[in-house]
Structure 1
């Protein structure tokens, strides 16, 4: 996406990167910019890379002028441009409504306690802003991308790691919405295999959320297992595999070489056999690490 100046956005000074905000959202933009600065400091220390960016805090009127993301309020990072909304967005309520026919009484009560009634997912999407900032490192330090699931898993590890160490008060919102995945009807998902995550995105937010929530759960377990060293090692694995002429899909053997817990995650992925085809990712990996 080309860098395009949007005249109605107001420059916000005082940060080590450019910040722009819709009129009337300047105070909120300063809050989001301060979090962005903290996330960058934490992630740069972990991954040893310094990205460039411009933070755009845009209301509904300005949104389409600063991002290609059609859903207003969904944080987005492309070509160093980070787009985030200053507050609530209509699709937050729509997303909650899509889960309503499937969730249990206990899950419904948990969502109400965390997000209020009527529910607002703003606390959750503040955490997704952290997730999106991880993509700055991917887009600027990786010459090519691996499978989408691995990109999203790594970004989720960064989100969970940052929140755990720097802003743990944000974790309950992540846990509350992620727990919806236990009630989502897996048998109705058109796509469930790890390599099919990109196709799931084309099938709608409900199917994509099923992947994303499972990858959030996986990220929590991986962070507990390996912390920053595993987060960095997975990042460096992707950077190194780009030197292969045809890297191909990510395999279980490759993940085992990074850390056995990653191979275990692939083995335990709840793909099953669904309407869009399925079964776990075929793999017969070694029984011992290869490094």
Structure 2
């Protein structure tokens, strides 16, 4: 369901900020129809950015009115949400909260890279921009925080949640670049096979041996800064 601001409160999940894609309790996918303060909150003044990055952003995110808008990135997140639907229907065991989000981002990135590569700048530049601004003002930055405080972060700290998603988008890009489209297929099989919750050591071993070292590195090399 694509909603204008005036309709958001009638159909979106309670407390969901306008612009945050999500499913309702009846499994309806909710996305925003237009630019909004939440999306804009991640974008610093263009004159404060390095010239090279500013030029890339202007090229990727300038709307028909000549204004900078992150909508080309956020519009792609519907594919991320569909990935959640696919793995839920297939009964995959995500093992960790971060893996559930990373998996959806990897499926999104793989689809865009393989089927619509002209959209890669729109998909990848926004996460780079958010990460480059650092973590000042964010209470949560570790994967342990994401696991233990997921609901609080998602519902009460939308910008902090957005930062995590951007880190996981960037990780998905790195994994795809390292292993190509085979990685999402191997990850699907691995998460389908193991139904019991694994400890960190066994999970890293699973990713290293059955999927790709780059997936294990998402956890091994995570840096909250």
Query: Structures share a fold, TM > 0.5?
Result: yes
The corresponding residue for 2:70 is 121
- Higher RCO by CA contacts (8 Å cutoff, separation 6 or greater): 2
Query: Does 2:99 match 1:150?
Result: yes
The corresponding residue for 1:255 is 207
Distance apart, 1:247 and its partner CA: 4.0
Rate the CA distance shift 1:128–1:271 in 2: closer, same or farther, 3 A.
same
Structure 1, unpaired ranges of 5+: 1-55, 273-291
Report the Cα distance in structure 1 between the residues aligned to 2:56 and 2:198, rounded to whole angstroms.
Answer: 43
Asked whether the equivalents of residues 131 and 167 of structure 2 are also in contact (C-alpha less than 8 Å), the reply is no
Distance apart, 1:108 and its partner CA: 4.1
Asked whether the equivalents of residues 124 and 173 of structure 2 are also in contact (C-alpha less than 8 Å), the reply is no
Distance apart, 1:124 and its partner CA: 0.7
Deviation by residue 1:185-242 (Cα, 9 ceiling, x = unmatched): 2465432222322534456233223322221121112112333322022122222222
Report the Cα distance in structure 2 between the residues aligned to 1:93 and 1:124, rounded to whole angstroms.
Answer: 12
Rate the CA distance shift 1:216–1:228 in 2: closer, same or farther, 3 A.
same
Q: Which structure 2 residues correspond to residues 170-249 of structure 1 after superposition, within 5 A?
A: 170-186=119-135, 189-198=138-147, 199=149, 200-201=153-154, 204-242=157-195, 244=196, 246-247=197-198
TM, length-normalised to structure 2: 0.79
Rate the CA distance shift 1:247–1:267 in 2: closer, same or farther, 3 A.
closer
SS of the aligned residue for 1:71 comes to coil
Report the Cα distance in structure 1 between the residues aligned to 2:42 and 2:126, rounded to whole angstroms.
Answer: 10
CA radius of gyration, larger in: 1
Asked whether the equivalents of residues 61 and 68 of structure 2 are also in contact (C-alpha less than 8 Å), the reply is yes
Asked whether the equivalents of residues 149 and 194 of structure 1 are also in contact (C-alpha less than 8 Å), the reply is yes
Rate the CA distance shift 1:201–1:76 in 2: closer, same or farther, 3 A.
closer
The corresponding residue for 1:47 is none
Asked whether the equivalents of residues 39 and 70 of structure 2 are also in contact (C-alpha less than 8 Å), the reply is yes
Distance apart, 1:262 and its partner CA: 1.6
RMSD: 2.9
* Higher helix proportion: 2
SS of the aligned residue for 1:95 comes to coil
Structure 2, unpaired ranges of 5+: none
SS of the aligned residue for 1:206 comes to helix
SS of the aligned residue for 2:23 comes to strand
Query: Does 2:88 match 1:139?
Result: yes
Asked whether the equivalents of residues 61 and 69 of structure 2 are also in contact (C-alpha less than 8 Å), the reply is yes
Rate the CA distance shift 1:84–1:109 in 2: closer, same or farther, 3 A.
same
Q: Which structure 2 residues correspond to residues 256-275 of structure 1 after superposition, within 5 A?
A: 256-258=208-210, 259-271=212-224
The corresponding residue for 1:38 is none
